[in-house]
């Protein structure tokens, strides 16, 4: 009797065990979201505006899948709904491009004015989507501070989202740089974001957190170089790959046991690689903003850009300290490891891109070239000097803590002011649109009168012309 009861219990518990196994084997939201994000990123890199809009929709859907699978589902769903805004902006730009192709067939003042308006809408749509993903708009700045919808996704958000924003700006650079007003506004926001990102990287004590903000700064500086259009877009892409790609590989090594910092040779190689990649990325940008032609030269933009570059170089060299070895038995590593090969490649790609820019006609006088190197060269040399003199560095530790606190307060105050301005602007806009909502209160007879009024207006306007 006992054996029969035990056999029945085992048969009854079998479906439950199979259900648990099925839940474990089922790919679930993690894999489905990963597939959607990969497909979205592939579409974003395609030259079509429609493909970019669809790619952004897939990326937003991936975050929706991840957020629904998170333990704090409601909080995560509300936190990442802003990813629908870049997708909406790309749909708007794609629709404006289609209408513009139809209008350009006409002639006359009206057709030209409508074409210019539609080109502006395209530029605004692309810039809106790109800047929001680059954390260059007030409502999306702090996304690098937040945890992701899944534990494995969170550390890579400052790599995934800014890289997608740069991809949109790089692929559709013709659309948004052809409108001067949009281009200047985007440059202003990008440079402000570079300053805020480097301030935040400087204020964070953990190296991984600082590294995430350095990746955001890399993408923003590369986007500003795209806006100037002084070097070919392929050169800008290579400079971005050297800077942001190298920091992303360094972040991957940090998340896997701090391997780049555990060996002295790898540690030095990565610091030099990061220094060189930041220098090659910022050099043509500073040359153009500080000493470029009259249409592109802007010393007001050059000064904060130089500050951001110098602070990023300082953080890259000073904050990346050698990690202590905690293992009882140190594993023997090959002389040519994957980490060192990656660091060496990032050191080569940046100078090679500058050679390509020179080959395509980007020439700079020697004196101007030296001045543009100063914002990255001087802080880098100073950072190495402080490391060689630990007594001086120890004396300046308290002042460094005060500087980090000041950087934190400045970042938070700027974000608070921006959000307050957005709230005021939104309130004014809602106040201006309130009369339009009062045109129709829902009554069927009033709605009929409203349609009759619109019909009469549609008949009178052609007569007035």
Q: Summarize pLDDT for 38-86 with one digit per residue, the tens.
A: 999 999 999 999 999 999 999 999 988 888 887 878 888 888 888 889 9
The radius of gyration of the chain from alpha carbons, rounded to an integer in Å, stands at 27
- Return the minimum-mean-pLDDT range out of 8-17, 254-263, 318-327, 426-435: 8-17
User: Percentage helix, strand, coil, to 5, in the chain?
Assistant: 80, 0, 20
CA-CA distance, 433 to 33, in Å (whole number)? 38
- Kindly state whether residue 246 falls inside one of the protein's structural domains: no
More confident residue, 24 or 145: 145
pLDDT of residue 363: 86
Written as six digits, the tokens of 47 are 């030259």
- Averaged over 135-164, what is the pLDDT? 77
- Kindly state whether residue 426 falls inside one of the protein's structural domains: yes
pLDDT of residue 188: 94
pLDDT of residue 151: 64
CA-CA distance, 449 to 454, in Å (whole number)? 9
- Kindly state whether residue 461 falls inside one of the protein's structural domains: yes
- Averaged over 371-379, what is the pLDDT? 91
Written as six digits, the tokens of 204 are 């964070």
DSSP state of 241: I
Written as six digits, the tokens of 164 are 């997608």
Highest mean pLDDT among 134-143, 235-244, 318-327: 235-244
- Averaged over 177-195, what is the pLDDT? 93
* Residue 445 banded pLDDT, cuts 50, 70, 90: low
| Strand, coil or helix: 416 | helix
Total structural domains within the chain: 1
More confident residue, 287 or 418: 287
Do 190 and 301 contact (CB within 8 A), yes or no?
no
With a cut of 80, say whether residue 380 has pLDDT above it: yes
Q: Which residues contact residue 35 at a Cβ distance below 8 angstroms, ignoring those fewer than 6 apart?
A: 62
- Kindly state whether residue 57 falls inside one of the protein's structural domains: no
CA-CA distance, 249 to 239, in Å (whole number)? 15
Give the CA dihedral 163, 58, 87, 169, nearest 10 degrees.
30
* Residue 125 banded pLDDT, cuts 50, 70, 90: very high
* Residue 8 banded pLDDT, cuts 50, 70, 90: very low
pLDDT of residue 11: 40
pLDDT of residue 376: 92
Q: Which residues contact residue 149 at a Cβ distance below 8 angstroms, ignoring those fewer than 6 apart?
A: 63, 66, 67, 69, 70, 76, 79, 80
- Averaged over 339-347, what is the pLDDT? 86
How many CB atoms within 10 Å of residue 130?
32
DSSP state of 328: S
- Kindly state whether residue 432 falls inside one of the protein's structural domains: yes
- Average pLDDT for the chain: 81
With a cut of 70, say whether residue 390 has pLDDT above it: no
DSSP string, 38-95: HHHHHHHTSS-HHHHHHHHHHHHHHHHHHHHHSSSHHHHHHHSGGGHHHHHHHHHHHH
* Residue 168 banded pLDDT, cuts 50, 70, 90: very high
* Residue 23 banded pLDDT, cuts 50, 70, 90: very low
Written as six digits, the tokens of 16 are 């439950």
pLDDT of residue 280: 94
- Kindly state whether residue 455 falls inside one of the protein's structural domains: yes
pLDDT of residue 9: 41
% of the chain surpassing 70 pLDDT: 78
- Residue 256 has phi, psi (to 5 degrees) of -115, 50
* Residue 283 banded pLDDT, cuts 50, 70, 90: very high
Do 129 and 165 contact (CB within 8 A), yes or no?
yes
- Kindly state whether residue 241 falls inside one of the protein's structural domains: no
pLDDT of residue 464: 57
- Kindly state whether residue 248 falls inside one of the protein's structural domains: no
CA-CA distance, 258 to 267, in Å (whole number)? 10
C-alpha dihedral sign at 187, 192, 195, 196:
negative
- Averaged over 128-136, what is the pLDDT? 92
Written as six digits, the tokens of 214 are 């350095």
> What is the value of pTM for the model shown?
0.83
Burial of 450 (0-12, 13-18, 19+ CB in 10 A): middle
- Residue 146 has phi, psi (to 5 degrees) of -100, 150
With a cut of 50, say whether residue 5 has pLDDT above it: no
Provide the residue range defining the domain that includes 411: 404-465
């Amino acid at each position: 009797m006992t054996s029969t009861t035990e056999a029945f219990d085992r048969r009854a518990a079998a479906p439950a065990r199979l259900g648990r196994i099925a839940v474990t084997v089922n790919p679930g939201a993690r894999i489905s979201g990963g597939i959607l994000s990969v497909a979205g990123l592939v579409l974003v890199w395609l030259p079509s505006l429609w493909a970019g809009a669809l790619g952004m929709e897939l990326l937003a859907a991936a975050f929706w899948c991840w957020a629904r699978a998170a333990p704090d589902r409601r909080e995560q769903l509300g936190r990442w709904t802003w990813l629908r805004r870049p997708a909406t902006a790309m749909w708007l730009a794609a629709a404006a491009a289609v209408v513009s192709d139809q209008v350009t067939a006409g002639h006359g003042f009206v057709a030209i004015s409508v074409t210019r308006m539609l080109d502006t809408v395209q530029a605004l749509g692309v810039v809106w989507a790109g800047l929001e993903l680059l954390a260059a708009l007030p409502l999306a700045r702090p996304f690098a501070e937040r945890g992701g919808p899944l534990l494995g996704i969170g550390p890579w958000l400052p790599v995934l989202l800014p890289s997608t924003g740069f991809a949109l700006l790089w692929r559709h650079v013709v659309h948004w740089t052809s409108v001067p007003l949009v281009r200047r506004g985007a440059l202003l926001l990008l440079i402000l974001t570079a300053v805020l990102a480097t301030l935040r990287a400087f204020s964070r004590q953990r190296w991984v957190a600082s590294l995430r903000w350095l990746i955001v700064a890399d993408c923003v500086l590369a986007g500003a170089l795209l806006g100037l259009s002084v070097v070919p877009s392929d050169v800008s892409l290579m400079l971005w790959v050297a800077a942001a790609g190298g920091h992303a590989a360094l972040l991957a090594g940090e998340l896997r046991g701090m391997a780049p910092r555990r060996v002295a040779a790898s540690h030095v190689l990565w610091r030099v690689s990061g220094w060189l990649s930041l220098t090659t990325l910022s050099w043509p940008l500073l040359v153009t903003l500080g000493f470029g032609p009259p249409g592109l030269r802007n010393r007001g933009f050059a000064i904060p850009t130089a500050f951001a570059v110098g602070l990023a170089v300082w953080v890259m060299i000073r904050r990346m300290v050698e990690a202590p070895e905690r293992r009882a038995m140190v594993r023997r590593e090959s002389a040519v490891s994957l980490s060192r090969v990656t660091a060496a490649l990032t050191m080569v790609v940046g100078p090679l891109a500058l050679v390509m820019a020179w080959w395509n006609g980007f020439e700079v006088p020697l004196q101007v070239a030296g001045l543009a190197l100063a914002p990255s060269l001087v802080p880098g040399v100073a950072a190495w000097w402080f490391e060689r003199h630990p007594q001086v560095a120890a004396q300046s530790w308290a002042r460094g803590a005060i500087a980090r606190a000041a950087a934190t307060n400045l970042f938070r105050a700027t974000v608070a002011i921006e959000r307050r301005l957005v709230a005021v602007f939104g309130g004014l806009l809602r106040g201006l649109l309130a009369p339009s909502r009062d045109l129709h209160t829902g009554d069927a007879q009033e709605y009929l009168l409203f349609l009759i009024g619109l019909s009469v207006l549609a008949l009178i306007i052609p007569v007035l012309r």
